[in-house]
């Protein structure tokens, strides 16, 4: 099963990256959030299953 990390900015989706494992996708989202926030203006990140269900999300004001 694939898991997609979706990076959101104020205008919508900035980027998407696909991983084979949920843990790997979640770890990537957590590790990269602050960097992507500063570099790309990310405001939220989600990890979704193939069926579209959100398994993890993170946002900061």
pLDDT in tens, the chain (61 residues): 999 999 999 999 999 999 999 999 999 999 999 999 999 999 999 999 999 999 999 998 7
CA distance 44 to 34: 10
Q: How many domains does one find in the chain?
A: 1
Q: What is the pLDDT of residue 60?
A: 86
Q: Which residue segment(s) compose the domain that 12 sits in?
A: 3-59
| DSSP, res 56 | E
Contact 5, 56 (CB under 8 A): no
| Short-list 52, 51, 8, 50, CA closest to 29 | 8
3-class DSSP assignment, residue 60: coil
Contact 45, 31 (CB under 8 A): no
Tokens of 7: 């990076």
Q: What is the pLDDT of residue 57?
A: 97
Q: What is the pTM of this model?
A: 0.93
């Amino acid at each position: 099963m694939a898991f997609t990390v979706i990076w959101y900015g104020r205008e919508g989706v900035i980027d998407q990256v696909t991983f084979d494992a949920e843990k790997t996708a979640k770890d990537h989202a957590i590790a990269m959030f602050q960097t992507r926030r500063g570099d790309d203006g990310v405001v939220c990140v989600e990890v979704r299953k193939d069926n579209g269900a959100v398994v993890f999300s993170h946002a900061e004001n």
